[in-house]
Amino acid sequence: MPLLNSIATPYAEALLQVIEARGETEQTAEQAKAVLKIWESSPELRSAMSSPVLEPEAKKAALVKLFSDQLSQAFINLLKLLADRQRISVLDAVLLRFLELYRENRNIALAKVTSAVPLNKEQEDILVQKIRSIAGTERVELQVLVDPLIIGGFIINIGSQVIDASLAGQVRRLGLALAK
């Protein structure tokens, strides 16, 4: 990942610098999340854009056609630049790094919450309040995943910190304690 990060960071930093100068930071961050979701859910798009058979001009034309009405000009320019330099295959790494830098600059904590069942709005609000105090920040971005294998409870990842309040985690800890 360090090599991929060293490739992605300059592009992510450049995008952040341009959009901050234009005052489009919040809008572009939302666009980056949407494009990332599309990129991750479409293996066909990833494979077409990574294909050495397609010329960079064809890739740029396809990207403009797909996204021109949904993305800011700075974002479109990034996509074109990545296609020109044959780096479009690392778009996900660039966008993830951009979002990391965006959150760092805005002091936003990213909390990945895994629960056994979908959380309702009230439960999410309570978790956000707890995460704010743990992370020491006012702004929290919540990514909620549902994984029935944790049986009950939840697991919270904030940076390198993990809080495992799941039933599966408690059973695992109990098994380890009994094994001693």
pLDDT digits (tens, 9 = 90+) for 68-77: 899 999 999 9
- Tell me: do 125 and 97 sit in the same domain: no
pLDDT at 115: 94
pLDDT confidence band for 28 (50 / 70 / 90)? very high
pLDDT at 2: 62
- Tell me: do 54 and 122 sit in the same domain: no
- Tell me: do 96 and 42 sit in the same domain: yes
> Which pLDDT tens digit goes with each residue over 101-128?
999 999 999 999 999 999 999 999 999 9
- Tell me: do 132 and 93 sit in the same domain: no
- Tell me: do 36 and 115 sit in the same domain: no
- Tell me: do 112 and 146 sit in the same domain: yes
pTM attached to this predicted model: 0.84
- 154, β-bridge pairs: 115, 165
- Tell me: do 85 and 116 sit in the same domain: no
Q: What is the CATH number of the domain that holds 57?
A: 1.10.520.20
Looking at the predicted structure, is the pLDDT value of residue 26 above 70? yes
Give how many domains the chain has, as a whole number: 2
Range of 144's domain?
A: 108-179
Q: How much is the CA Rg of the chain, to the nearest whole Å?
A: 20
Q: How many CB atoms lie within 10 A of CB 15?
A: 25
- Tell me: do 15 and 95 sit in the same domain: yes
Last residue of a domain, one of 68, 87, 105: 105
Name the nearest CA neighbour of 79 among 38, 121, 113: 38
Question: Is the separation of the CB atoms in 80 and 61 below 8 Å?
Answer: no
